Structure 1
Amino acid sequence: MRQSYHQLVVSHDSLNCKSSELLDEFKSHRRYFSVSVSVPYTDVRTHKPVQFYPGKHPCEKPADMLRQIINASSRPGDLVADFFMGFGSTIKAAMALGRRALGVELESERFNQTVKEVSELVGK
């Protein structure tokens, strides 16, 4: 044997510590999806569209779909950005899930209305 037992134990402990740190780092980057018998894995999203209501934005996304995407791609405290904010559905879902949110909207009237709605949510 080239190394003494003590040297092997020290090497093992050092490598084991590094392995543990790498495992923790891996777990911190890993994304968990809600897959179960009732929610099988699929890469096809099946969400009901947002029903029509007066003033509905033509591209409004279902809130449950946005929550699923935000949960799969971020953690609480992360920043979620929506550069085509519209009615702010993504911003509202992100805030409800404990994320920070940034929204950009070209139409100033729509932007001001969404800022007002989000401010009311924050005030609650």
Structure 2
Amino acid sequence: MKEITVYTDGACSYNPGPGGWAAVLFYQDHKKELSGGEKETTNNRMELQAVIEALKALKERCKVKIHSDSAYIVNCFHQKWYVKWEREGFKKNPDLWKELLALVRQHEVEFIKVKGHSDDVWNNRCDELARAAVPRD
């Protein structure tokens, strides 16, 4: 099984407001950068979208290490909040959580918390890409 390293981030000018997401994927000596944005969204939605888009980019079942500065996402998986949320029908962002869980279940995924806006070069690169993807009009 291929081992993929992923860094993700989301950004929002206002919360809610225009936002962007980004992911950087690594496989051996290959690197792929992804990003996008929405005119009206929230920071949490952009954090989720970044992980979703990274996993959607994979063409086969992989072992994936996702590095994120989002406590919302990392804690959800580490503490298994999604089990209760799924059982209760997801109160917030149900569309994205359902999509993310379906994708996570296709792979072996480990979530790793990184400190945002620190000295992690790839987290900083994702932040830069996500901010650049925020719609400006």
Is TM > 0.5 for Structure 1 vs Structure 2?
A: no
Higher helix share: 1
Q: Tell me the TM-score normalised to structure 1 length.
A: 0.29
Q: Tell me the TM-score normalised to structure 2 length.
A: 0.27
Higher strand share: 2
Rg bigger for which structure?
Answer: 1
